[in-house]
Structure 1
Amino acid sequence: MTATAPLPATGKRPRTAPRHPYRAALASARGRTGLVLVALVVLAGLLAPLLAGHSPTDQSSQSLAPLGTPGHPLGTDDLGRDLLARLLYGTRADLGIIALSVPLGALLGCLFALLAAVHPVLDTAVQRLFDLILAFPGLILALAVTAILGPGRLPVVLVIALAEIPAFGRLLRGGILVEREREYATAARVGGSSRTRVLTRHILPNAADPLVVQIAVSLTVAVFVEGAMSFLGVGVRPPQPTLGSVLSQSVPYLSDAPHFAAGPLITVTALVLGLSLIAEALNREIRR
Structure 2
Amino acid sequence: MTAITLPAPGKPARRSPRHPYRAALASVRGRVGLALVLLVVLPGVFAPLLAGHSPTDQSDLSLAAPGTPGHLLGTDDLGRDLLARLVYGIRADVGIIGLGVPLGALLGCLFALLAATHPAVDTAVQRAFDLVLAFPGLILALAVTAILGPGRLPVVLVIALAEIPAFGRLLRTGILVEREREYATAARVGGASPARVLTRHILPNAVDPLVVQIAVSLTVAVFIEGATSFLGVGVRPPQPTLGAMLSQSIPYLADAPYFAAGPLITVTVLVLGLSLIAEALNREIRR
TM-score normalised by structure 2 residue count: 0.94
The 5-angstrom pairing of residues 79-118 of structure 1 reads 79-118=78-117
CA distance in 1, matches of 2:121, 2:40: 41
What SS does the aligned partner of 1:78 have? coil
CA distance in 2, matches of 1:101, 1:20: 27
Structure ID, larger Rg: 1
The 5-angstrom pairing of residues 136-147 of structure 1 reads 136-147=135-146
Corresponding residue of 1:254: 253
Amino acid at match of 1:249: Q
Using the TM superposition, give the Cα deviation of residue 137 of structure 1 relative to its aligned residue in structure 2, in angstroms. Answer: 1.1
- Unaligned stretches of 5+ residues in structure 1: 1-16
CA distance in 1, matches of 2:177, 2:126: 17
The 5-angstrom pairing of residues 159-198 of structure 1 reads 159-198=158-197
Corresponding residue of 1:63: 62
CA offsets 1:154-193 (integer angstroms, 9 cap, x no match): 1100000000000000000000000000000000000010
Corresponding residue of 2:10: none
What SS does the aligned partner of 2:167 have? helix
CA distance in 2, matches of 1:135, 1:258: 37
What SS does the aligned partner of 2:282 have? helix
Q: May I ask how many residue pairs the two structures share in their alignment?
A: 272
CA distance in 2, matches of 1:25, 1:153: 33
Corresponding residue of 2:3: none
Amino acid at match of 1:168: F
Corresponding residue of 1:48: 47
Corresponding residue of 2:270: 271
Corresponding residue of 1:11: none
Corresponding residue of 2:11: none
CA distance in 2, matches of 1:58, 1:174: 51
Corresponding residue of 1:39: 38
What SS does the aligned partner of 1:239 have? coil
What SS does the aligned partner of 1:61 have? coil
Root mean square deviation of aligned Cα? 0.7
- Unaligned stretches of 5+ residues in structure 2: 1-15
CA offsets 1:193-225 (integer angstroms, 9 cap, x no match): 000000000000100000000000000000000
Using the TM superposition, give the Cα deviation of residue 18 of structure 1 relative to its aligned residue in structure 2, in angstroms. Answer: 2.4
Using the TM superposition, give the Cα deviation of residue 231 of structure 1 relative to its aligned residue in structure 2, in angstroms. Answer: 0.2
What SS does the aligned partner of 1:260 have? helix
CA distance in 2, matches of 1:201, 1:99: 28
CA offsets 1:74-105 (integer angstroms, 9 cap, x no match): 00000000000000000000000000000000
CA distance in 2, matches of 1:39, 1:248: 25
TM-score normalised by structure 1 residue count: 0.94
CA distance in 2, matches of 1:266, 1:174: 37
Using the TM superposition, give the Cα deviation of residue 47 of structure 1 relative to its aligned residue in structure 2, in angstroms. Answer: 0.4
CA distance in 2, matches of 1:110, 1:267: 31
2:183 pairs with 1:207: no
Corresponding residue of 1:4: none
What SS does the aligned partner of 2:273 have? helix
